[in-house]
Every structure is written in structure tokens, then in C-alpha cells.
DNA sequence: AAATATTTTTAGTTTTGTCTAAAAATAAAA
DNA sequence: TTTTATTTTTAGACAAAACTAAAAATATTT
């Protein structure tokens, strides 16, 4: 079965949102992620339910079927492999690749993506630390964790931010925190959950607001 | 100005067809190349004329404006660079890449294509011997010529076929003519325009039907 | 529980790109 | 130069994917 660019974007979005919804994914949540109107989402989910890639119950939200899950994972695999290509081979920065990968993920060719995978040396994670699904559709649990979730003594490298607001990124620049920075948790303050960390050999204090927005990929 | 996937395919097709039309490109010719109906072509060329990328005179055919030519050349540049990538980096065969490049040519990012160009070592021709337009939009004259147009004594390597019908390709296999074969014209028969050639060191006779369908890239 | 607010769906349009059928223009043949 | 054939355009329809406005269902307050 074939899917349009639009259908693929819906399936991928529903897959991502399912991780944050206990029951079905809400119509409004999909609309917001795709920057479209809820009424458009209703139309589309009805069509996708017809195609049996999602289960849709009026007013109750949607969930992917096994078939839909497989389609979504294939798109995510393509997205992340292309991101690796852009960063590793074409020297793009981690924050420049998303928009382009958003287009490349829709190129249809099994052969292409498997050869790309091989060309890249079968990478297991993308430039943001997210796991790359295998050809068979298996996804390893993400290696990256929020800095705020690390225990004292754990260390790793900074691989991304949760919400990449411009203000926040400027703050990171000022503090010399960048993608690739080595970070070790030295101690935690119980009262306000602030952290004392070792950043590339230098001592630094970090508030909870910050540690809640920084992703760390653990060493090893 | 932005162009849809469909508009881009029309512009590229008109560019290619202009090389074979003295006046404007006919509606039917476009329809045949794009495997669509003439009425659909009329609709589209009227829209493209509005956008001032083509000149269109009712019943007289269409020609690209300078603006349209630039857009077409950019798409062709992308198409051919991606073909080089597929063959040189991902080890595809020359005859397997067209369909995939047909999709990749529509990925929108100047930065991407210029970095890809650099990554590939600024190639000047694609796997079929066709010239790759520069970033500035310049196209070198194609190095490849039909075998039938070569003079006695000229030599080069086989880089492609004009019409890749399965029957013809099978014939080439039987005669050991392949992409990469070294070919030298030894003599021409005036009567039926058949050729005596040196194919990778072996003597071979070739009819006009064959020499009219084989592209040779001259040495040097 | 009733009133109010929010979410979701329906109904009716719009745009893009395609199609079929029929009419009009142009080209070729008689 | 008529007649016939071919090419091209118009008119009207359709499917995909979006939208607005309004109705219906669900959730939250009072
Ligand atoms: Mn996308
Ligand atoms: Mn990513
Ligand atoms: Mn194309
Ligand atoms: Mn080519």
C-alpha cells in the first residue's frame, strides 16, 4: 500500500505523540504538531482509519495499528539516516538538518535507504542521539536522558535540547554549553533541584529549568 | 518564487523538449513525456505563463522564459548530482538511478545541493555522460554524441543509449557492448551507413539502427 | 445538576492537478 | 479549395487536502 506525503506526516506525528498519551492521541494534539486545523485532522484520521493504519473512535482519539506503526517506523528510519548523512558526510550542524530530513524522509526506495545505511556504516543513533530503527523495524531505547534525570556521578555528552527556543540557545552559548560538551553531575541540591556540574573540566551551577531542557547521552 | 513538484516536472520537460523543437514545444509532446493528457497540459501551461516562466501562445506551443530556464536548470543540476551520488557513493548501476533521482531532484535546499556538489568532488558529468550545470547555471555542451555522427578515426567510450528498450539492451549484451566499452570508428559504408568499429580491441559490424541509438563520449 | 468552556465533528468551500467529452483551430489530403 | 484528420482548447467533473463557520459531544466549573 502507498501513502501520500501528507499521510506519511500524519502517521509519523501520531507515532511520536503516542509516547505522551495514555489513551488515544487527541485531534487537537495532532493539529498543533502539524500546524493545521482540527477539522482537517478529523478528515484525515477518518481516511487513515479506512486504510486500517490507525484505530479511530469518534471523540476518543486515535492509535496506530501494527500496520500503521510499521509505516511510521520506516519514515523515522529514513529521517534519521538522512540526518546522519547530512551531518557526517555533508558537514551540516545538528540544528540545520531537520527541515531537509523532513523532505528526504519521503523519498520512496527500500534499496536506496538500505544502501545509505551501509554507506553510513550502520549507525545506531542520529545526530540528536535518537535511535535509528533497524531494517526490520526494531528501535532501541533512546540513549539520551534529560540532565535533570541523571544521578550524581553519571556523565556523558550533551546531544540536544528539548525545546529549542532562541532565548534558551543564547543562554547556552553564554555558558559555553554546546552540543558535544562533556558533562558530569557532581552534586544535586535537594531544595531547588539545581545541579553542580563539571562542564568540559570547569565547574558550573545549573538550575532545574535548564537541566530539564538538556539531553545527555551517557558515555559507554 | 516557489514551484510545486508538478510545476517543476513541467519546466524540466519543456527544457528538454525545446532542444528538439524549432518553434514552441507542442502540447502533445509535453503530454506524452509526462504521461498525462493534453487537456491537463493546456491547464498547466496557462498557469505557468501567468507565473511568467514560459511564453505560451494558443495553438502555437510554449517556450521557456529566462526565468523558467533558470528554474529548469536548477532541477536538472539537482537530478544529475544525485545520480552521481547514487552511482559513485551508493554503488547503484547507471540504469537504476533515474527513478530515484526523479524524486530527489525536488528536494528544496540550495545549501544541500552545493554541499553535495563539493562532497562529490564537483563532477562535470552524470553517470550517463550528461553535463552537470554549475551553481551559476552554466551547462557545458554535452560531450556525448551518437555513434552514427562520429567520423572515421574518432574514438571514445560508450556512455549511454538513446531509447533504452529492453530488446535493444539485450542485443547490446549479446554483442558485448556495454557502458564503458571503448569504441573506435574504423570505416563507414556509404550505401547503408553501417559501421565497422573496434570494440575493446575486437572488430565488429554495426547497422545504422544501432549506431543511431548509442552515445559515445569522445576521449580527451 | 446546571451552566459554561473546551474539544471534536460536520457541512460546505477552496485550491491544485488531474480527467472525459465536446468544440474549435490548424494541418493534411482529396 | 473543400473535405477530412489531427491537434489543441474549453467546459464540466473529480479526488486530495486544506480551510471557515457552525453544530454536537465532552469536560470543567459553579
Ligand atoms: Mn515530512
Ligand atoms: Mn533527529
Ligand atoms: Mn521529477
Ligand atoms: Mn542522467
State pLDDT tens for residues A66-99.
Answer: 999 999 999 999 999 999 999 999 999 888 899 9
Query: Any idea which of A69-78, B138-147, B185-194 has the lowest mean pLDDT?
Result: B138-147
Using the Cβ of A113 and the Cβ atoms of chain B, whether some distance falls under 8 Å is answered with no
- Retrieve residue B100's grid coordinates: 530515484
* CA gap A9, A7 in Å, rounded: 5
Q: How confident is the model at residue B144 (pLDDT cuts 50, 70, 90)?
A: confident
What is the whole-number distance in angstroms between the Cα of residue B155 and the centre of ligand 3?
34
Measured between alpha carbons, how far is residue A129 from residues A71, A137, B197 in Å?
22, 18, 58
Protein-proximal positions, strand C, CB < 7 A: 7-12, 16-22, 25-26
Please give the helix or strand (H or E) that residue A217 lies within, else none.
Answer: strand A214-218
Note the pLDDT of residue B220: 67
Note the pLDDT of residue B164: 67
Angle formed at CA A207 by CA A205 and CA A210, multiple of 5 degrees = 110
What is the whole-number distance in angstroms between the Cα of residue A169 and the centre of ligand 2?
17
How far the first Cα of chain B sits from its last, in Å, is: 40
Q: State the pTM of this model.
A: 0.89
Residues 6+ apart with CB under 8 A from B19: none
CA nearest neighbour of B48 among B18, B20, B68: B68
Note the pLDDT of residue A106: 98
pLDDT tens string A145-167: 899 999 999 999 998 888 767 78
Using the Cβ of A5 and the Cβ atoms of chain B, whether some distance falls under 8 Å is answered with no
Phi, psi torsion values for B6, nearest 5 degrees? -65, -45
Beta strands A182-188; A195-199: pairing state: antiparallel
Helix (H, G, I), strand (E, B) or coil at A147: helix
Note the pLDDT of residue B128: 84
Average pLDDT over residues B42-46: 98
Higher pLDDT, A192 or A164: A192
Question: What percent of chain B has a predicted confidence (pLDDT) above 70?
Answer: 99
Q: What are the chain A neighbours of B107 within 8 Å (beta carbons)?
A: 100, 103-104, 107
Strands (E), B44-93: 54-57, 61-64
Can you say how many angstroms the Cα of residue B114 is from the centroid of all Cα atoms in its chain?
Answer: 21
Length of chain B counted residue by residue: 220
Contact yes or no for A86 and B112 at CB 8 A: yes
- Greatest CA separation found in chain B? 57
Yes or no: say if B214 and B180 are a contact pair by the CB < 8 Å rule: no
Yes or no: say if A144 and A217 are a contact pair by the CB < 8 Å rule: yes
Amino acid at each position: 500500500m502507498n501513502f501520500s506525503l501528507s499521510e506519511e506526516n500524519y502517521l509519523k506525528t501520531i507515532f511520536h505523540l503516542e509516547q505522551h498519551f495514555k489513551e488515544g492521541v487527541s485531534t487537537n494534539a495532532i493539529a498543533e504538531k502539524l500546524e493545521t486545523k482540527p477539522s482537517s485532522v478529523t478528515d484525515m484520521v477518518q481516511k487513515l482509519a479506512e486504510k486500517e493504519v490507525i484505530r479511530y473512535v469518534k471523540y476518543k482519539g486515535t492509535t496506530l495499528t501494527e500496520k500503521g506503526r510499521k509505516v511510521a517506523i520506516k519514515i523515522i528510519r529514513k529521517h534519521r539516516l538522512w540526518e546522519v548523512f547530512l551531518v557526517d558526510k555533508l558537514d551540516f550542524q545538528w540544528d540545520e538538518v531537520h527541515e531537509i530530513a523532513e523532505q528526504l524522509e519521503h523519498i520512496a526506495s527500500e534499496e536506496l535507504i538500505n544502501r545509505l545505511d551501509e554507506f553510513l556504516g550502520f549507525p545506531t543513533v542520529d545526530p540528536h542521539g535518537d535511535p535509528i530503527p533497524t531494517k526490520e523495524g526494531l528501535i532501541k531505547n533512546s540513549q539520551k536522558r534529560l540532565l535533570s534525570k541523571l544521578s550524581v556521578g553519571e556523565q556523558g555528552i550533551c546531544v540536544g535540547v528539548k525545546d529549542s527556543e532562541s532565548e534558551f540557545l543564547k543562554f547556552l552559548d553564554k555558558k559555553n554549553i554546546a552540543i558535544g560538551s562533556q558533562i558530569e553531575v557532581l552534586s544535586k541540591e535537594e531544595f531547588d533541584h539545581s545541579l553542580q556540574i563539571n562542564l568540559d573540566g570547569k565547574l558550573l551551577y545549573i538550575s532545574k529549568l535548564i537541566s530539564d531542557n538538556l539531553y545527555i547521552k551517557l558515555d559507554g
